[in-house]
Structure 1
Amino acid sequence: MSQTNDPALHRKGLLITAVGGLSLSFDIPLVRASNGEVWSVLAVRCFATFLVALAAWGVLHFLLGRRIALIPGWTGLLIGLCYGGNSLAFMLAVFNTATANVVFIYAFTSMFAAILSWVFLRERPTNATLVTMAVMIGGIGLIVQDGLQSGNFFGDAMAAAAAFMVASAITLSRKSGADMGLVPLATAVIPGIAALALLPAGGIAIANPGFILFDGLIMIPLAFWCLATGPRYLSGPEVGMFYLLETVLAPIWVWIAFSETPTTQTLAGGAILILALLGHSLWQMRRKAKAARAADVAAEFPFSG
């Protein structure tokens, strides 16, 4: 399991995952801008990401003399399958419901990570985290109810599945403590192969392939590497919190580029999710700062009390 007690390593983890969350916020706008058929977009995006993984592995292995496993053992493969399932479910969500629905439901990643950490890592969530979960479930309920009314339930369900898969990958990465930075990039080939098998009769159909190539070659590899590396320095729920950047920013980019306005009910549910996560994050930071001050006092006066 990763160590997160070192403040310097914790700050490093925060920076890495922040870059990952910001990069991920451009994923949906780039997918939308490519104007392609779902399986075509998924195939090109995944194979582009896989090529980046091979190139990065080659640079690290041959030019820098750094030996690194592309997929570290069976745990790495299992994590890769989780990321592959996430890519598949996420793409189906993007093509079957509104952007706001996707990213707001996807924000539940941090709470899924908290639940999985509780079950498998014996890291019991605090009472504040449990309360936050309950509030967020209420917010997601509003969004899913809106999806049922508008016929977007399948897309909403795929967004929830994507959140669960990536939370599973975060939890497994944290438990292993190994370097999993290349795993989500290398195993992107799995959903890519599945997408090739489901292509329409005419083959690849993407009106603006430059956008999806930029997404697959640059933005997704950067985002996935950062977010897969984060669990080495941060807890699972903390890494999940940085998916909130996509939750906040992706609907803004889509609104600016495509004039897609969320429904009032979706915005209400999203606001509940964001405020719950923000309040929980601020509480966590305050609690950690208080614990750090107490540790400093104990170190300065070891025989007091």
Structure 2
Amino acid sequence: MTTHLKGLLMTVFAVIILSPDSVLIRLVEDASPEVDSWTVLFWRGLLYAVGVSLLVFIKYRSKTIKEFQNIGKGGLLIGFFSGISTGTFVFAIVYTSIANALVIISTGPIMIAIVSWFLLKEKSSLITWASMIIVFIGIYIVMSGNFGGDKLVGDLFALATAVMMGFTFTLTRKYKTINMVPVNAIGGVIAAFIAFIMANKIAVPIEVFKYVLAMGTILSISFSLITIAPRYMPAAEVGMIMPLETVLGTLIAWYVINEEPTANALIGGSIVIVTLFLHSWYSSNLARKIEKI
């Protein structure tokens, strides 16, 4: 197996197992209305942190503590933004449609370009700027159906998640020597800590704990694989595969909880996903040409 194929399989598998994540959040809310979003976030963050820490221990054994120590201040900063995005994602799923949330969050690569320009002074190409404009038109179409409605709050949480992802991945590039897998655990701890302060209660009914446990397992495995995949294939190619989660997540929500996407979500989502795919394809080909020179 080539290294490229290894990275490709890692990314595809990660995206597939991550796709039901948003539906699981909604299932908890529907099955037990007395469980508020902060309680869901606490268990989601805690189990995410435990799961990732377990994976780090399996790989590094006696060096596990050292791996966590090595993340330094840069890793803690990345973990902070990761933890915040974990929280805003939960509230996005709760307060708007899953289709809207996933489409808006899928704009993460564009947010990375914007944050990189802001923080690292990296200049984006004309193609990237054109893609940004088209993507934001798509987002406007998705959100326009909710202007003045209750779901607008959820759309804004989804947009905040995309922005936090932009900071997370930009800082990951800045501190590229850091092992990002332990940092994922830090993000989970931060999310759980904030939720613990805000939640009215921590306990969840036993009948919904299976959904919460599934969330932690899914997050631990999928984000660890997504973090590792760019070691084996260009990050732009990883970006080409990530919008698959938007499609699969929306279809799963449609099938499992009968949440049919609106016309605005389908039209705007198609614009966003096609634009992101083409931009990633262009970036990947450009990177290959540069490598050959």
Counterpart of 2:21 in structure 1 is 27
Q: 1:49-87: per-residue Cα shift (whole Å, max 9, x none)?
A: 122233234334436889522660000000000110001
Q: How does 1:106-117 map to 2 (within 5 A)?
A: 106-117=105-116
Which 5+ residue runs of structure 2 have no aligned equivalent? none
> Which stretch of structure 1 is more off in the superposition, 62-71 or 172-181?
62-71
Secondary structure of residue in 2 paired with 1:148: coil
Secondary structure of residue in 2 paired with 1:260: coil
Change in Cα spacing, 1:196 to 1:99, as seen in structure 2 (3 Å) is same
TM-score (norm 1): 0.83
Counterpart of 2:76 in structure 1 is 77
Q: 1:15-53: per-residue Cα shift (whole Å, max 9, x none)?
A: 444333333222112222333431222111111112223
Which structure has the larger Rg over C-alpha atoms? 1
> Which stretch of structure 1 is more off in the superposition, 134-143 or 117-126?
117-126
| Equivalent AA in structure 1 for residue 244 of structure 2 | L
Shift of 1:271: 0.9
User: How well do the aligned residues superpose, as a CA RMSD in angstroms?
Assistant: 2.7
User: Given that residues 142 and 269 in structure 1 are in contact (C-alpha distance below 8 angstroms), is that contact kept between their aligned partners in structure 2?
Assistant: yes
Query: How many residue pairs end up in the alignment?
Result: 286
Counterpart of 1:48 in structure 2 is 47
Secondary structure of residue in 2 paired with 1:204: coil
Partners of 2:152 and 2:11 lie apart in 1 by 30
Partners of 2:165 and 2:157 lie apart in 1 by 12
Counterpart of 1:91 in structure 2 is 90
Counterpart of 2:198 in structure 1 is 198
Partners of 1:233 and 1:116 lie apart in 2 by 25
Q: 1:201-255: per-residue Cα shift (whole Å, max 9, x none)?
A: 5843574210220221x21001221233345566666555443122111001111
User: Given that residues 71 and 186 in structure 1 are in contact (C-alpha distance below 8 angstroms), is that contact kept between their aligned partners in structure 2?
Assistant: no
Shift of 1:11: 5.6
Partners of 1:199 and 1:84 lie apart in 2 by 16
Partners of 1:71 and 1:187 lie apart in 2 by 15
Q: How does 1:201-280 map to 2 (within 5 A)?
A: 203-204=203-204, 207-216=207-216, 218-230=217-229, 239-280=238-279
Shift of 1:289: 4.6
Partners of 2:58 and 2:89 lie apart in 1 by 30
| Equivalent AA in structure 2 for residue 198 of structure 1 | M
Shift of 1:10: 5.9
Change in Cα spacing, 1:91 to 1:169, as seen in structure 2 (3 Å) is same
Secondary structure of residue in 1 paired with 2:73: helix
